[in-house]
Amino acid sequence: MQQQLSARPRVLGKGQTIACSKLRSVAVCAAMKVAVTGAGGRTGGLVVKKLLEGGADKFVAVPIVRSQKSADKVESTYSLAKGSAKVLDISSGDVAAATTALQGCDALVIATSAVPEILKLSLIPVILAKLFKKEGVRPQFRWKEGQTPEQVDWLGQKVQIDAAKAAGVKQVVLVGSMGGTDPSNMLNKLVGEDGGQILQWKRRAEQYLVASGLTYTIIHPGGLVDEEGGKRRLAVDVDDGLLKRKTRSIPRADVAALAVGCLGLAEATNRSFDVCADPVGEGEPSTEWGALLDGLGGRNCDYSINSQAEPAEPVVAGTP
């Protein structure tokens, strides 16, 4: 019986990634094993879907979710074998558990994010304001207990980054959000006196990833919409330049396709950029991810702009 050799992915060319090793004269190729946190969410779920569409010879998807209920749902939705989805509470601060969940993975796509809950009673004045054509009345939100931006978008992502480094993950693709250069962005003021500062906490986690030494790709999509992907031309820029555009939304499905397309892509290595989509019919839909990123001319987002704080030194599990 021939001995099976382990393999790691290597970039073969634009948009083409495969893991191969040679056994005698026969090339043995292994699919890239990709963990996806936040796989129970709308964007994370689409990342899992896109990986599965890529074929078992190219990708092995490892969905990671917060609860067993979510794991069961993800396995059922994508016809995965029982136990394929892993349960991990990233807000627990347990780097060892996160490292275990990522063992054997070649890449990690971080699609976790704090999600505000709308206060239903606050909709009443909003509806009345619309009836009487009064402007400036908005609904109110709250964060679920244990799921604030600080706990999820900073500390939770920090745990994932430390665990990825300890587990030997080769690339981290982080799905963030545009608006991080502006502390006064309305998304920072959703809840309570300090509003949650979600974009600032996301930005701090991104700084931490950049400083970690891991190969990274940070994607800042514009406003996420639940529409069909693959129908629009995408536009990329840095440092919130796309916020000046009239149209700055993007389908979640296109974000998922881009995240998967960046896995092992040379042009996506150690890159941080913003992305949104043109209206349907304006230009050819984007499919060549390397060419898309080449349009940046080598530019990356500048984390010295309105940074909340300097990131701490990354640590590996088991070190002080």
Cα dihedral across residues 104, 106, 111, 112: positive or negative: positive
The answer for residues whose C-beta is within 8 angstroms of residue 57's C-beta and 6 or more apart is 29, 31
CA distances from 72 to 33, 75, 91, 99 (A): 20, 5, 20, 22
Tell me whether residue 177 is one of the annotated catalytic residues: yes
DSSP string, 181-204: T-TT-GGGEEETTTEE-HHHHHHH
Catalytic residue among 177, 212, 272, 286: 177
Sole residue written with tokens 């978008």: 153
Three-state DSSP at 71 gives: helix
Which amino acids are annotated catalytic? 177
